[in-house]
Structure 1
Amino acid sequence: MRKLTLSFILIIIGASSFCQQKQLELQTMQEIILEMKNTALVLSIEENKDVNMIYFGNKLSNPSEYKAMSKQYNQGHDYTNMYQSAFTASGTRNLLEPAISVIHSDGNQSLDLKYQAHETKQINANQKETIVKLKDQIYPFEVELHYLISIEENLIEQWSVIRHKEKNVVKLSKFASANLSLKSPQFYLRSFHGDWFQEMQPSNEKLTHGIKVLDSKLGTRTNLFQSSYFALGLNNEIEENKGTVLLGGLDYSGNFKVEFEKDPQQNLRIIAGINNYASEYFLKPNEDFITPKFSFTISFHGLGDASRNYHNWARKYRIVNGMGERYTLLNNWESTYFNFDEKKIHQLLENTKELGVDLFLLDDGWFGNKYPRNADTSALGDWEENKLKLPNGIISIVKDAKDVGVKFGIWVEPEMVSPKSELYEKHPKWVVKQPNRDEYYFRNQLILDLTNPDVQEYVYSILDNLLSKNPGLAYIKWDCNAVIYNAHSQTLNHQGNFYVEYTKGLYKVLDRFRAKYPDLPMMLCSGGGGRIDYGALPYFTEYWPSDNTDPLDRIFMQYENSLFFPAIGSANHVTTVGKQDLKFKIDVAAMGKMGFDLNLEELNQKEVNYAKSAVQEYNLIKDIVWHGDQYRLANPRELNHACIAYISKDKSQAVMFNYLTEYSQVSNTPNPIKWFGLDPNKNYQVGEIFIKELRNPIYENLILSGDFLMKIGLNPMLYNGRRSVVLQLKAIN
């Protein structure tokens, strides 16, 4: 009897201990809450140590209520308890698309990542980084999830760090940066496709079951056919000034993949990272594999608000000198192409001074001696001044520019090599190509193998030598015209690492260059807009949207780019391309970082005088365009006109760019265009700019309140004889 009683007591004690343990586990279950100014992302550490993403949306006043939200969703059965995983692994119970897949050194393909710990670090007054550490319970394999929040901008950068301590190499079959889980009745995607001369063409679709993929396999110029940046409407189609909209993209200059999978519970999973196409990465023990950052923001007031989040963040953290100034410039490409000499350059320097811009940029064609660069068929890689064109060297032009009173910049394409070049003859193994296959050329050129440290040293030396030998060189245009064919490195042991190591090699060169020349202005060009991403932009002051400089086409491209990239980063040039008049071309270029690419000798005196006066007026408004808040007021894909406005941070000044985008004798703007973002209590004087010597203004000394402008609007009065109008607002109280 005593034994029974003792046994019974032990059972009760054991049960009590078990209950206490369970209670302790429930008490230790916790949420990891990332709160920004208006938004919050919440991770949940489950009882079994899984980490799920349970919320991304409006910030709650009471943080303790985040844990209550899961019970409000009455959804179907989750067969795996992994649908909301913060970083879905493959090979165990997962049935959906994974964020990470591996082949362990023993050949096993399973991975089950469990919570270990997390920490949050204060980076600065506006940024915090949270690191969540995950570990497999069987294999010595670890993943860190990094979340860097920018509080004021409501923007998150997410990436992963993958490492292991297995005895031999582990193969990474997939290695994403981020794995989001979103809840909404419906999802509407806007993505962007294109090609050379027709970048950033939007596509809109409602996401259904299955997987929608945005990706690139080009190796370089990876945005040529598809951008990794996208807009996502939650519940409703994407609108400019209302509704919930998520903007995001992979901040990476190599092959990318962004997947959208609607799960069986009707939720959306977004998996973004490096494209694992032809990239089974061999990871050695005790090495860190650091994925690129996936940046994203959410707005509850439409697309425009989300764009302003991106713009403010980019100017602070992602573009060189994003809060500072820019050079306006004159480029020679469309006026001379490859045909120039010192006399012609001096004339262009004088034109630069007369026009009133800051810098003259010498484009392609200044180099090569054994194989002169007189066409795009030779000399890439031979970065020495052509002695016939520039017998006194670049340094003489730098000095000449200084004497004239302007600055001087130069074009390079350092990643590339022409088969007809001295470099190719001396170093045929430095080229990306298959050893036993015919070479295949893109724009008559091949790509240098940046996985090779010797090539990295060479590419760095190209830039360093230019600047060291030519003190006063003030600007570099970095081009990249080719994509990768026949991908192969003659120095890599594992060819599956090639695409990843190429991009890492590019960044190593740029990191080293920027360490020595942190403030030098540089344009990011890639045969047009083939490399516009926040992986490359931290090394550059501006980007080239497209080789298509027809201003009508540029309106659409610049409009779409503005969803993600601020105006200070957009290099917009006035050129001879297009049938529009000079005013229209200048007006389009002025809604960004304006430049010129034309021959003043081909203009009549009235046009020259107009261009000079436009530069002077641009100098008065450029700070508003570069650093103000942008509002897209009329979409040219929905209307017969486009309207984009920029408002200074203190709301004391604004500029409104208006363009008629349909060519018709009867096209006009019949209705006023409503403003957003003004101060309703201020009165604004409305005036028209960029019209000197052309026409009389319609609006002169008109005063309207911010309240009127936002409730009623302002009609730019566009019609066939008045196809482009720029209006300036100045607060008078």
Structure 2
Amino acid sequence: DKLINLKVILSYSVFNEENVIARSAHFINEGKSSLKILRALSMGIDFDHNNFDMLSLSGSWARERHVVRRGIVHGTQSIESRRGASGHSENPFIALMDKNADENSGEVYGFSLVYSGNFLASVEVDQYDTTRVVMGINPFDFSWKLEPGEEFITPEVVMVYSGEGIGDMSKTYHRIYINNLMKSKFRNIERPIVINNWEATYFDFTEDKIREIAKQASELGIEMMVLDDGWFGKRDSDNCSLGDWYVNKNKLPNGLHSLAEAIKSYGMKFGLWFEPEMVSPDSDLYRTHPDWCIHVPNRHRSLGRNQLILDFSREDVRETVLKMLTDILSGADISYVKWDMNRNMSEIGSALLDSTRQQETAHRYMLGVYEVMDKITDRFPNVLFESCSGGGGRFDPGILYYMPQNWTSDDTDGVERLKIQHGTSIVYPACAMTAHVSAVPNHQTGRITSMDFRHAVAMSGNFGYELDVTKLNDDEKAYIKQQAAFYKSIRRVIQFGELYRLESPFDGNDTSIIYVSEDKKEAVLFLYRVRSIPNEPLRRIRLRGLNPNYTYKVGEEALISGEQLLNYGIYTPDELSWGDYKSSIILLEAQ
């Protein structure tokens, strides 16, 4: 733009072996006066017709990423976040597809934003029935002052084309995000079976109790003990101590090093929960630096979960947090970090930015978070980092770059997880999804489901436990030991095989998925039924992803050709036909 001397470079990354283009925009002020950017989206693409359905992943806390499909109409339809994070309500992803497109056929165009803050994805149909898709940072409450010589780069949108339905689009995203996005060395390494103490103890634990859980878990084959919220400051509830990242000696009198060494002596690794982006008003950090939170001077500071958000746009905040994290991770043998973030933004402002830059706060905050994540993961490359945000409130490619897995939802109920994990798999690979078996009645829904069902649902991701194993009886412990050993035998296929969704929980009572190894020689089939159906006719399901030229051992005995499994299928097993909340796991192995 010669009038204002603004140069905009549109950047395209084209992948030779994938139907993928990544697009971003680069703004450069080549003039002598400052400019203010009011809208800086990452991509725009036009289609010459409007015969599309739009797919998005919507929901809320405990109901993340439910699949929503609707026909597009004249005018503008959009999804967005205005809350400072990508959020529980909408994931930064949409797809346009043929009206008749399904899992296995039809043209599909996917758009996924590599960003964790406020975003907008908009589809507009004009009077001539043409369709425009745009995506990027949400213009709401955003501007960016660009001084002479300064640059601004937007986050990338990863665009995927599939001519073979939604499933092929998903598998492309899975490959590209594992191979070309995740920087962690763990991206191709099998993830451990974890036990987290949160639903077992909440804040009410002692060092002896954590050791007791870990010792019992180690005897059952569980590989990682993760200590959740409550180990620091004076933290006995959620109303204090965030920001005071030093050990609570009332709970852990011998410190983290001693606890980690004890857990290692059981043959396990040790992990720890943090919430580095937050501060409690009742904390030493806040009393010392009350201006370090995001706030507007002389305005009320609204609390969420009794906490405020630290202003990561400030270098002093970032350096202080980074030092505290580094000191903790250097002081004990910690192999795993769960990085949480439990509230969204309000009264958005920064004490260090002048009045002309206040609308830069939310984006500068996100860039600051990325900087700290980048530095801490580089300093501790042997630590497996998992992201969390009130469950799955920031499950997006921006975070996935730094942390190769995400707590999928705070809702651990098996029935609800069928929908949550199905929707998540539309874009994100199984190795990015963490899923745990919890106690019943479930703490989020009150539902009572069987051990079999809960295990079968949790095994379709990074598997673990969220319960007090010391309270189990001998039969339950023997069962968990057996299931842990079983998962270890199949986890490579689950975490890094190709995922095929056969039946959707959004379409009915039954859900089925199959994971197939890269060489097509191994597969794991999961079948789920929520409600019993009396006197049901025989039901047959066709499999996907297998080699038609192989003969597969199906379960314990049957030998069936790949061609038959693909074209005719198999009958669902009898164990699904009696009682609610039933499941079956069937192994297939080429002979």
TM-score (norm 1): 0.77
Aligned to 1:388: 250
Choose the corresponding residue for 1:729, options 556, 564, 588.
588
Deviation for aligned residue 1:497: 1.0
Aligned to 1:478: 339
Q: Does 1:260 align with 2:119?
A: no
Mind listing any 5+ residue stretches in structure 2 that lack a counterpart? none
Does the Cα contact within 8 Å between 2:94 and 2:121 map onto a contact in 1?
Answer: no
Aligned to 1:41: none
How far apart are the structure 1 equivalents of 2:189 and 2:252?
34
Q: Does 1:656 align with 2:525?
A: yes
Aligned to 1:714: 570
Q: Does 1:445 align with 2:445?
A: no
Deviation for aligned residue 1:149: 2.1
How far apart are the structure 2 equivalents of 1:341 and 1:533?
35
Choose the corresponding residue for 1:488, options 349, 356, 360.
349
How far apart are the structure 2 equivalents of 1:255 and 1:497?
12
Aligned to 2:3: 138
Aligned to 1:566: 429
Closer, same or farther in 2 for the Cα pair 1:667/1:263, shift >3 Å? farther
Aligned to 1:682: 550
Aligned to 1:131: none
How far apart are the structure 1 equivalents of 2:2 and 2:296?
41
Deviation for aligned residue 1:327: 1.5
Choose the corresponding residue for 2:316, options 450, 454, 458.
454
Deviation for aligned residue 1:671: 1.9
Aligned to 1:46: none
Bigger CA drift: 636-645 or 651-660? 636-645
Deviation for aligned residue 1:619: 0.6
Deviation for aligned residue 1:259: 1.0
Q: Does 1:399 align with 2:267?
A: no
Deviation for aligned residue 1:714: 1.4
How far apart are the structure 2 equivalents of 1:730 and 1:465?
48
Does the Cα contact within 8 Å between 1:181 and 1:269 map onto a contact in 2?
Answer: yes
How far apart are the structure 1 equivalents of 2:572 and 2:216?
33
Q: Does 1:158 align with 2:23?
A: yes
Does the Cα contact within 8 Å between 2:67 and 2:506 map onto a contact in 1?
Answer: no
The one-letter amino acid of 1:666's match is P
How far apart are the structure 2 equivalents of 1:704 and 1:586?
27
Q: Does 1:548 align with 2:411?
A: yes
Closer, same or farther in 2 for the Cα pair 1:167/1:458, shift >3 Å? same
Deviation for aligned residue 1:147: 1.1
Aligned to 1:329: 194
How far apart are the structure 2 equivalents of 1:608 and 1:580?
17
Does the Cα contact within 8 Å between 1:669 and 1:719 map onto a contact in 2?
Answer: no
Deviation for aligned residue 1:196: 1.1
Choose the corresponding residue for 1:534, options 397, 405, 418.
397
Deviation for aligned residue 1:192: 2.1
Aligned to 1:378: 240
Please state whether the residue corresponding to 2:571 is helix, strand or coil: coil
Deviation for aligned residue 1:279: 0.9
How far apart are the structure 2 equivalents of 1:547 and 1:298?
32
Q: Does 1:524 align with 2:393?
A: no
Choose the corresponding residue for 1:618, options 474, 487, 493.
487
Aligned to 1:366: 231
Deviation for aligned residue 1:503: 0.7
Q: Deviations over 1:172-227 (max 9, x none)?
A: 1100111112234501001122111111123221111111111111013x222211
Which structure has more relative contact order (CA 8 Å, sep 6+)? It is 2
Q: Deviations over 1:47-105 (max 9, x none)?
A: xxxxxxxxxxxxxxxxxxxxxxxxxxxxxxxxxxxxxxxxxxxxxxxxxxxxxxxxxxx
How far apart are the structure 2 equivalents of 1:396 and 1:185?
63
Q: Deviations over 1:218-271 (max 9, x none)?
A: 013x2222112122213x244111110112221101100111111333221111
Deviation for aligned residue 1:432: 0.8
Does the Cα contact within 8 Å between 1:252 and 1:534 map onto a contact in 2?
Answer: yes
Deviation for aligned residue 1:333: 0.7
Q: Deviations over 1:640-679 (max 9, x none)?
A: 2000100011000100011002x23528673211112111
Does the Cα contact within 8 Å between 1:261 and 1:268 map onto a contact in 2?
Answer: yes
Does the Cα contact within 8 Å between 1:240 and 1:303 map onto a contact in 2?
Answer: yes
How far apart are the structure 1 equivalents of 2:320 and 2:131?
46
Aligned to 2:497: 628
Please state whether the residue corresponding to 1:473 is helix, strand or coil: coil
Closer, same or farther in 2 for the Cα pair 1:183/1:404, shift >3 Å? same
The one-letter amino acid of 1:176's match is L
How far apart are the structure 1 equivalents of 2:216 and 2:394?
31
Please state whether the residue corresponding to 1:659 is helix, strand or coil: strand
How far apart are the structure 2 equivalents of 1:408 and 1:601?
18
Deviation for aligned residue 1:514: 2.3
Aligned residues: 578
Q: Deviations over 1:479-523 (max 9, x none)?
A: 000111100100012102111111111111112222222342011
Q: Does 1:645 align with 2:514?
A: yes
Q: Does 1:702 align with 2:558?
A: yes
Please state whether the residue corresponding to 1:228 is helix, strand or coil: strand
Deviation for aligned residue 1:709: 0.4
Please state whether the residue corresponding to 2:397 is helix, strand or coil: coil
Choose the corresponding residue for 2:110, options 247, 250, 258.
247
How far apart are the structure 2 equivalents of 1:216 and 1:312?
26
The one-letter amino acid of 2:558's match is L
How far apart are the structure 1 equivalents of 2:320 and 2:349?
19
Q: Does 1:587 align with 2:456?
A: yes
How far apart are the structure 2 equivalents of 1:398 and 1:523?
18
The one-letter amino acid of 2:513's match is I
How does 1:207-218 map onto structure 2 within 5 Å? 207-218=72-83
The one-letter amino acid of 2:550's match is K
Does the Cα contact within 8 Å between 1:524 and 1:544 map onto a contact in 2?
Answer: yes
How far apart are the structure 1 equivalents of 2:16 and 2:475?
50
Closer, same or farther in 2 for the Cα pair 1:445/1:668, shift >3 Å? farther
The one-letter amino acid of 2:295's match is K
Closer, same or farther in 2 for the Cα pair 1:427/1:210, shift >3 Å? same
How far apart are the structure 2 equivalents of 1:151 and 1:563?
22
Bigger CA drift: 675-684 or 713-722? 713-722
Does the Cα contact within 8 Å between 1:150 and 1:313 map onto a contact in 2?
Answer: no
How far apart are the structure 1 equivalents of 2:166 and 2:588?
24
Please state whether the residue corresponding to 2:524 is helix, strand or coil: strand
The one-letter amino acid of 1:197's match is A
How far apart are the structure 1 equivalents of 2:537 and 2:222?
33
How far apart are the structure 2 equivalents of 1:641 and 1:153?
32
Aligned to 1:608: 477
The one-letter amino acid of 1:603's match is L
How does 1:148-297 map onto structure 2 within 5 Å? 148-184=13-49, 186-220=51-85, 222-234=86-98, 236-297=99-160
How far apart are the structure 2 equivalents of 1:422 and 1:185?
57
Aligned to 2:276: 414
Deviation for aligned residue 1:153: 2.7
CA RMSD of the aligned region, Å? 1.4
Deviation for aligned residue 1:403: 1.3
How far apart are the structure 2 equivalents of 1:591 and 1:724?
12
Larger Rg: 1
Identity of aligned residues (%): 36
How far apart are the structure 2 equivalents of 1:244 and 1:252?
26
Closer, same or farther in 2 for the Cα pair 1:454/1:350, shift >3 Å? same
The one-letter amino acid of 2:545's match is G
Closer, same or farther in 2 for the Cα pair 1:667/1:503, shift >3 Å? farther
